[in-house]
């Protein structure tokens, strides 16, 4: 029998994936080899929690997808340790798929394949899945209790980024002898000589009566770098152009500036992704705890920047002004935006993505540029720049449709056919699989020659079984690549794109989120220049995919398997969003 081997390892407790995989692999082999089994495929989840359902883990999802493939190349699946694979009710939700597709599931705890008709086997797997859930809950409880005790009794810095105004300094050897032997040391907070005075200024100005916005404007006017500008590595996703009000508010709400170590300001809650489908599992949400749940150290743990009385006065002022911290709920838009993440603000010095917004039941895109950012950069930027979505949809779809017009069709076919002729990237996986098969054939010939020369038959048979398993896996991989890779000829492309009318109709009927995915695959980039009322569009497609139904359903691109298309196959576009629908400006625009 040919087996697929599945294993999982979590990186949360610094486990070595190689060592964990090896002992699980050894356990799996010891189970199947006495029955003549060999492993020809391998699936793994590294760094993914066992609490995540199989359908949401990449390795597990790939294994489930392979079960439905009649050419999967294996007859059964072996798992080294079921506690690492199944959690809670996951076995009950997953095993029916194995039964449906006729693939056996082998685990060491039952000494072979799981019998779907055996109540004992089902009970054993349910027990191990329950033990897995219990083990995870016990670990969470122990870790949280230990961290609370370390923060309260020792005032220990428990990791993470230091608050703005502080830096990390050495605090001596680690109290755990094993970690100390590895060179691990404790750290503590110490005032940063550059940013600590800024924190003191923020608290002093707020207590004196200045508002958060006025404080942010003053810091930007004085040229003081914001936290993300001072240390770009701590917030690489921030623009760092000025002081945001949220940054000032976060500093005013942080109790660690009093010199005390404070822990448990936030917690992780696991909430159902879909209350109507519990099998989808949970997702982790960070939520703020109330001040009553905070854990304060019994005595100061580092040098304070403000007194505790100043901090408490600040909190009273914020509560009086209605600025108390509130739980931030994730915003899930009920409306899809066709150009989400694709439309940029073209004002010089901005270049930020415009955000979708609904006004009067219409979709808009807005660039809101805070005044403190403009002050920091010396820009003339309106507070809000708006663009109505419907004024852009028709001209853009008309422009994209021009590539299929009769006047452009032959040029498009010629360019795409030329791009499809470059098989450098598509041939690489096929050549690698073919080379592996050739190496396996050469090794099998050597082993057979050794057997004829009088070598130990048992040892040689083991060698041959390993190489045959490797050759089977390489053959399955080669077959998969050949099925997914096909060079498009000019006739193929002409057949796909000749009916442009249907293509444009399908584009108009598509949902906004489907259009957005299609535009992303096309490499669409839009830049809005409000002073000229002009949207410049650029398409840089990374692939040209065949769709068996001839529609415009967006499919994920497989880089390296799809022929590369040239952006020059699409005519240039300049759109005047104030013009009538379908008006396309000339090439000079």
Flag whether 132 is in a domain.
yes
Check residue 46 and give its pLDDT.
86
Looking at 99, 121, 137, which one is the last position of a domain?
137
User: Which among 169-183, 402-416, 417-431, 532-546 has the top mean pLDDT?
Assistant: 169-183
Check residue 285 and give its pLDDT.
87
Angle (nearest 5°) at CA 262 between 284 and 13: 45
Rounded mean pLDDT, 275-289: 83
Least confident piece of the model among 3-17, 261-275, 390-404, 539-553 = 539-553
Give 437-459 pLDDT, tens digit per residue.
888 888 878 777 777 777 666 66
Looking at 414, 449, 479, which one is the last position of a domain?
479
How is residue 264 written in tokens? 């448990």
Rounded mean pLDDT, 65-80: 92
Q: Can you give the CATH number for the domain in which 241 is found?
A: 3.90.1750.20
Flag whether 454 is in a domain.
yes
Structural domain range at position 301 = 166-261+297-320
Give 91-116 pLDDT, tens digit per residue.
988 999 999 999 999 999 888 999 99
Flag whether 151 is in a domain.
no
284: three-class secondary structure by DSSP: strand
Indicate whether 62 and 22 sit together in one domain: yes
Q: Are 104 and 79 in contact (CB under 8 A)?
A: no
Q: Which of 145, 148, 167 is nearest to 156 (CA)?
A: 148
Stated pTM of the model: 0.56
Question: What residue has token string 């799981």?
Answer: 114
Indicate whether 369 and 497 sit together in one domain: yes
Q: Give residue 306's pLDDT band: very low, low, confident or very high (50, 70, 90).
A: very high
Are β-strands 185-191 and 262-263 bridged in parallel, bridged antiparallel, or unpaired? unpaired
DSSP assignment of 33-90, as one string?
A: GGGT-EEEEEEEEES--TTS-GGGSHHHHHHHHHHT-TT-S-SEEEES-HHHH--TTH
The yes-or-no verdict on residue 579 having pLDDT over 50 is no
Check residue 404 and give its pLDDT.
62
Check residue 345 and give its pLDDT.
86
The yes-or-no verdict on residue 415 having pLDDT over 90 is no
Check residue 464 and give its pLDDT.
75
Angle (nearest 5°) at CA 123 between 121 and 127: 120
Query: How far are the Cα atoms of 18, 306, 579 from residue 338, in angstroms, in the given order?
Result: 44, 49, 20
Rounded mean pLDDT, 268-295: 85
Q: Give residue 30's pLDDT band: very low, low, confident or very high (50, 70, 90).
A: very high
- Starting at the edge strand found earlier in the chain, the sheet holding 355-359 runs 355-359, 362-368, 384-388
Flag whether 101 is in a domain.
yes
Indicate whether 314 and 384 sit together in one domain: no
How is residue 554 written in tokens? 């967006």
Indicate whether 186 and 125 sit together in one domain: no
Q: Give residue 557's pLDDT band: very low, low, confident or very high (50, 70, 90).
A: very low
Indicate whether 495 and 534 sit together in one domain: yes
Within 8 A by CB and 6+ apart from 497, the residues are 403, 404, 409, 412, 413, 503
Check residue 107 and give its pLDDT.
93
The yes-or-no verdict on residue 549 having pLDDT over 50 is no
For residues 208-240, one letter each, b for 16 or more C-beta atoms within 10 angstroms of the residue's C-beta and e for the rest, the string is eeeebeebbbbbbeeebbbbbbbbeeebeeeeb
Indicate whether 182 and 116 sit together in one domain: no
Indicate whether 128 and 117 sit together in one domain: yes
Indicate whether 518 and 588 sit together in one domain: yes
The yes-or-no verdict on residue 585 having pLDDT over 50 is no
Within 8 A by CB and 6+ apart from 262, the residues are 151, 255, 256, 294, 295, 296, 297
Indicate whether 357 and 301 sit together in one domain: no
Average pLDDT for the chain = 78
Burial of 437 (0-12, 13-18, 19+ CB in 10 A): middle
The yes-or-no verdict on residue 354 having pLDDT over 60 is yes
Q: Are 470 and 438 in contact (CB under 8 A)?
A: no
The yes-or-no verdict on residue 311 having pLDDT over 60 is yes
Flag whether 472 is in a domain.
yes
- Domains: count for the chain: 4
Q: Can you give the CATH number for the domain in which 121 is found?
A: 3.40.50.1390
Indicate whether 372 and 311 sit together in one domain: no
Flag whether 156 is in a domain.
no
Check residue 310 and give its pLDDT.
93
Q: Give residue 494's pLDDT band: very low, low, confident or very high (50, 70, 90).
A: low
Flag whether 245 is in a domain.
yes
Rounded mean pLDDT, 363-367: 87
Least confident piece of the model among 139-143, 280-284, 342-346 = 280-284
The yes-or-no verdict on residue 144 having pLDDT over 70 is yes
Rounded mean pLDDT, 417-431: 58
Looking at 81, 116, 137, which one is the last position of a domain?
137
Check residue 587 and give its pLDDT.
34
Are β-strands 343-345 and 266-272 bridged in parallel, bridged antiparallel, or unpaired? unpaired
Least confident piece of the model among 58-62, 69-73, 286-290, 347-351 = 347-351
Indicate whether 10 and 79 sit together in one domain: yes
Pick the more confident residue, 567 or 36: 36
Are β-strands 384-388 and 362-368 bridged in parallel, bridged antiparallel, or unpaired? antiparallel
287: three-class secondary structure by DSSP: strand
Flag whether 254 is in a domain.
yes
184: three-class secondary structure by DSSP: coil
Indicate whether 417 and 429 sit together in one domain: no
Pick the more confident residue, 574 or 212: 212
DSSP assignment of 115-153, as one string?
A: -TT-HHHHHHHHHHHHHHHHHHHHHHHHHHHHHHHIIII
How is residue 534 written in tokens? 């002009």
């Amino acid at each position: 029998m040919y087996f697929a081997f599945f294993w999982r390892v979590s990186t949360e407790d610094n486990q070595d994936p190689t060592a964990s995989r090896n002992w699980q692999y050894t356990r799996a082999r010891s189970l199947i080899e006495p029955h003549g089994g060999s492993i020809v495929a391998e699936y793994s989840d590294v760094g993914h929690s066992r609490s995540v359902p199989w359908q949401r883990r990449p390795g597990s999802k790939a294994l489930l997808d392979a079960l439905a493939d009649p050419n999967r190349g294996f007859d059964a699946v072996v798992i080294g340790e079921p506690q690492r694979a199944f959690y809670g009710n996951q076995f009950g939700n997953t095993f029916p798929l194995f039964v449906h597709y006729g693939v056996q599931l082998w685990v060491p705890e039952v000494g072979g394949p799981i019998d779907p008709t055996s109540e004992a086997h089902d009970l054993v797997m349910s027990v191990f899945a329950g033990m897995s859930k219990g083990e995870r809950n016990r670990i969470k409880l122990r870790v949280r209790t230990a961290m609370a005790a370390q923060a309260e009794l020792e005032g220990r810095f428990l990791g993470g980024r230091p608050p703005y105004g502080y830096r990390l300094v050495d605090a001596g050897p680690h109290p755990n002898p094993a970690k100390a032997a590895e060179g691990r040391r404790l750290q503590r907070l110490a005032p940063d000589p550059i940013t600590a005075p800024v924190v003191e200024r923020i608290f002093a100005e707020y207590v004196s009566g200045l508002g958060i916005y006025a404080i942010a404007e003053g810091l930007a006017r004085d040229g003081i770098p914001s936290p993300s500008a001072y240390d770009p590595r701590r917030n690489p996703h921030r623009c760092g152009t000025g002081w945001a009000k949220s940054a000032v508010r976060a500093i005013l709400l942080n109790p660690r500036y009093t010199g005390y170590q404070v822990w448990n300001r936030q917690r992780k809650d696991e909430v159902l992704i879909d209350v109507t489908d519990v099998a989808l599992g949970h997702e982790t949400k960070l939520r703020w705890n109330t001040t009553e749940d905070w854990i304060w150290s019994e005595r100061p743990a580092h040098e304070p920047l403000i007194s505790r009385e100043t901090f408490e006065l600040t909190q009273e002022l914020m509560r009086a002004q209605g600025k108390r911290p509130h739980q931030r709920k994730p915003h899930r838009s009920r409306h899809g935006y066709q150009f989400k993440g694709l439309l940029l603000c073209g004002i010089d010095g901005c270049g930020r993505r415009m955000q979708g917004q609904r006004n009067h039941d219409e979709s808009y895109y807005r660039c809101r540029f805070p005044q403190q950012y403009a002050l920091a950069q010396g820009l003339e930027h309106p507070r809000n720049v708006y663009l109505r979505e419907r004024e852009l949809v028709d001209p853009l779809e008309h422009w994209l449709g021009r590539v299929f017009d009769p006047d452009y069709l032959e040029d498009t076919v010629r360019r795409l056919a030329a791009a499809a002729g470059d098989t450098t990237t598509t041939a690489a996986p096929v050549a690698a699989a073919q080379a592996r098969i050739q190496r396996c054939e050469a090794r099998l010939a050597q082993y057979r020659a050794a057997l004829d020369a009088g070598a130990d038959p048992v040892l040689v048979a083991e060698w041959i079984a390993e190489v045959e398993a490797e050759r089977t896996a390489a053959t399955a991989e080669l077959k998969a690549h050949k099925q997914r890779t096909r060079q498009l000829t000019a006739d193929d492309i002409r057949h796909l794109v000749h009916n442009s009318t249907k293509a444009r109709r399908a584009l108009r009927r598509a949902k906004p989120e489907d259009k957005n995915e299609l535009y992303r695959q096309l490499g669409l980039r839009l830049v809005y220049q409000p002073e000229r009322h002009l949207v410049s569009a650029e398409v840089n497609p990374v692939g040209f995919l065949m769709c068996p139904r001839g529609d415009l359903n967006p499919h994920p691109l497989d880089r390296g398997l799809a022929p590369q298309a040239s952006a020059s196959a699409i005519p240039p576009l300049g759109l005047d969003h104030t013009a009538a629908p379908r008006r396309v400006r000339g090439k000079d625009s």
